[in-house]
Amino acid sequence: MDGQATELNKTRLPQHLAIIMDGNGRWAKARGMMRTQGHHRGLEILRQTVRDVGELGIPNLTLYSFSSENWSRPQQEINDLMGLLKYFIRKDLAELHTENVKVRIIGRRDDLPDDIAPLIDEAESLTKDNTGLTLMIAFNYGSQDEIARCAAKLAQQAVEGEISPDDITPELIEKNLDTAGVPAPDMILRTSGEQRLSNFLMWQAAYAELVFIDCHWPDFNAQELHNAVAEYQSRDRRYGGVKEGAAS
């Protein structure tokens, strides 16, 4: 690629990159297009990003595709977004499987439309033994809902005598979140200039490096990805500790 000032350190790549793909609507509006056209273009970028992230060697990728709060959008836009998810799974699942991608969907399942739930199950069961990139799609996802569902599950286990309240540790909570088994994101990237999490991976973000870039999601590309990972690599991660040799 041309114009890349910083070489990436391949030994210090994030092991889990999570992306808030934002700005489809504003991208479309700026071009006099419908919001849905921004979402269509956004899906193409999603596809390309899965490839780019895999090629870079990042093993876990989470993409925020529909939040529990996005149901408050106009019904037509919701229909378009549901249609795109279905289209993505139907059209891309076979190829993702061929590329050894393991697909997981995180988010609330019990209130999903009838034509979506079976597709999600199929995507997960077909690819469950794959050993390449783990791709988590956050769909009908909200952190507060995820944590509340986790709390309810543990409370039920306590009522049934399977665990005692003292057993509830951060590790046990992690094992009961939708993201169980996948390391917490090292890096959360949000496009479109907004600087907030919007209910995304709030537990898991405890020590994530947050990277905010101005580009709208439909303009995201390999160069933007490279620059964002370079920004991540410039950060000093301390986890509350003190660096060896730091001035006292």
CB of 228 to Mg ion, least distance (A): 18
Q: Is 52 a catalytic residue?
A: no
Give 60 or 192: the residue with its C-beta nearer to Mg ion.
Answer: 192
The closest of 131, 237, 134, 221 to 186, measured between CA atoms, is: 237
Query: Site residues for Mg ion, window 2-31 (CB under 5 A)?
Result: 22
The CB-of-226 to ligand IPE minimum distance in angstroms stands at: 22
Which residue lies nearer to ligand IPE by CB, 21 or 177? Answer: 21
Residue 66 found at the interface with Mg ion (CB under 5 A): no
Residue number closest to ligand IPE, CB atom: 25
Six-digit token string for 178: 């939708």
Q: Are 189 and 213 in contact (CB under 8 A)?
A: yes
User: Closest approach of Cβ 22 to ligand IPE, in Å?
Assistant: 5
Least CB distance to ligand IPE at residue 131 (A): 28
Catalytic residue among 2, 9, 24, 70: 70
Dig out the tokens for 35 from the structure: 């919001």
What count of other Cβ atoms lies within 10 Å of the Cβ of residue 26? Answer: 17
Identity of residue 55 = E
**Rounded distance between C-alpha atoms, residue 104 and residue 136, angstroms:** 5
Secondary structure letter of residue 71 according to DSSP: G
* Residue 70 annotated among the catalytic residues of the structure: yes
Q: List the single partner that 224 binds among ligand IPE, Mg ion, none, CB under 5 to 8 Å by kind.
A: none
Binding site for ligand IPE (CB under 6 A): 20-26, 64-67, 70, 81, 192, 194, 196, 198
Q: Is 228 exposed, middle or buried (0-12, 13-18, 19+ CB in 10 A)?
A: buried
CB 15 within 8 Å of CB 59? yes
Q: Which is nearer to ligand IPE, 86 or 97 (CB)?
A: 86
> Which residues are near Mg ion by CB under 5 A?
22
